[in-house]
């Protein structure tokens, strides 16, 4: 039988762990031997008020079950204070789960600056601040695991969530860059787009669907990615209800034109089918996966760009 993945001696910070997904992660990490920092500001779904009760309750649950945990009530925007709590209680940090989040859903027309700013502050700046505070420790100890939390809304866009979707996609590229910079120091970063029953989703789904979307069904991937034996880094996963899938960028084969004064919008239009044809795609994963030097070399040998008469404006080819 495969061995249980254990986290004995590891310290994990879980932000927003007073409820929903964060609570599920905190409980299961603790049950597998980790020291857990249960961070939660105790705010409403929209980020209002604050209380220590949510974090305290989860810490009590962990301790009652024989685990090790400490509460922290700071906002993720004060990430250094959360890391300080971990160091004071356990002397180290090995894993950061950036999970805290709020919603300010509104159509873009009605969205205010504060709806925008607060969402960026909690999700993007908060993930940055906690990670930044742990980063130097990770580099020094040549070990670190980071999970950031995106959302399907960030990947695909979603009505009423311009602020939230922008913040959530930012966390995908944040993760990919951390993975590249952390690789040499055994620091791995991955990002998840979960779907789970919580106060964020309880009003938009029927009870029987929510039942099969327990946060407990998101934890297994998070634990797997954070284990010392796991090599995966820089990846995005969509998951929930037992479903787990990896996502990647897909780029059409594209079209190439001569880079000369005849490269006009009409030439783009003439090649539109090629530009948007996904029958022979590539899957770039780094800036260097686009070889502009050889593309340019190739373009030099091409015949002049197509100038279709279909693309005339004011008597000129456009």
Which residues are designated catalytic? 164
Cβ neighbours of 310 (radius 10 Å): 9
Instruction: Please report whether residue 36 would count as binding ligand NAI according to CB under 6 A.
Output: no
Site for ligand NAI in 244-303 (CB under 6 A): none
Q: How far is the CB of 75 from ligand NAI (least distance, A)?
A: 4
Of 37, 43, 137, 169, the one binding ligand NAI by CB under 6 A = 43
DSSP code per residue over 141-192: HT-EEEEEE--HHHHH--TTBHHHHHHHHHHHHHHHHHHHHHGGGTEEEEEE
Helix (H) or strand (E) segment spanning residue 246: strand 243-247
Of 11, 16, 189, 219, the one binding ligand NAI by CB under 6 A = 16
Environment class of 217 (CB within 10 Å of its CB; exposed 0-12, middle 13-18, buried 19+) = buried
Site for ligand NAI in 58-87 (CB under 6 A): 75-76
Residues 120-159, one symbol each (x = binds ligand NAI by CB under 6 A, - = not), give: --x---x----------------------x-x--------
Name the closest residue to ligand NAI (Cβ).
20
CA–CA dist 193, 75 (Å, integer): 22
The one segment of 11-19, 242-250, 283-291, 306-314 that binds ligand NAI by CB under 6 A = 11-19
Q: How far is the CB of 23 from ligand NAI (least distance, A)?
A: 8
Give bridge partners of residue 88 from the DSSP assignment.
Answer: none
Length of the chain: 318
> Taking a C-beta distance cutoff of 8 angstroms, is the pair 114, 166 a contact?
no
**Does residue 236 sit in helix, strand or coil?**
strand
Nearer to ligand NAI, 85 or 99 (CB): 99
Report the interface residues with ligand NAI, using CB under 6 A.
15-16, 18-22, 39-43, 45, 47, 54, 75-76, 99-102, 122, 126, 149, 151, 194-196, 198-201
């Amino acid at each position: 039988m495969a061995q249980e993945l254990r986290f004995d001696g590891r310290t994990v910070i879980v932000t927003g762990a007073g409820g929903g997904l964060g609570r599920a992660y905190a409980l299961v990490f603790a049950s597998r031997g980790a020291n857990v920092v249960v961070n939660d500001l105790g705010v409403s779904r929209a980020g209002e008020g604050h209380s220590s009760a949510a974090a305290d309750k989860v810490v009590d649950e962990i301790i009652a079950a024989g685990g090790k945990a400490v509460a922290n009530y700071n906002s993720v925007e004060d990430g250094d204070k959360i890391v300080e709590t971990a160091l004071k209680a356990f002397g180290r940090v090995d894993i950061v789960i950036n999970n805290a989040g709020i919603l300010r859903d509104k159509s873009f027309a009605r969205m205010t600056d504060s709806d925008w700013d607060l969402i960026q502050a909690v999700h993007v700046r908060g993930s940055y601040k906690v990670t930044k505070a742990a980063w130097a420790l990770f580099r020094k100890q040549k070990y670190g695991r980071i999970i950031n939390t995106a959302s399907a809304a960030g990947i695909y866009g979603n009505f009423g969530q311009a602020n939230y979707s922008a913040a959530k996609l930012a966390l995908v590229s944040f993760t990919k860059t951390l993975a590249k910079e952390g690789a040499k120091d055994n620091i791995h970063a991955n990002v998840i787009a979960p779907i789970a029953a919580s106060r964020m989703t309880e009003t938009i789904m029927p009870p029987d669907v929510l039942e099969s979307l327990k946060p407990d069904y998101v934890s297994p991937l998070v634990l797997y990615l954070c284990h010392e034996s796991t090599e995966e880094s820089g990846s995005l996963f969509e998951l929930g209800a037992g479903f787990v899938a990896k996502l990647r960028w897909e780029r059409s084969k594209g079209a190439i034109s001569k880079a000369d004064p005849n490269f006009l919008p009409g030439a783009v239009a003439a090649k539109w089918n090629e530009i948007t044809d996904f029958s022979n795609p590539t899957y770039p994963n780094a800036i260097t996966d686009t070889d502009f030097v050889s593309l340019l070399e190739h373009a030099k040998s091409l015949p002049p760009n197509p100038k279709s008469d279909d693309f005339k404006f004011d008597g000129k080819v456009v």
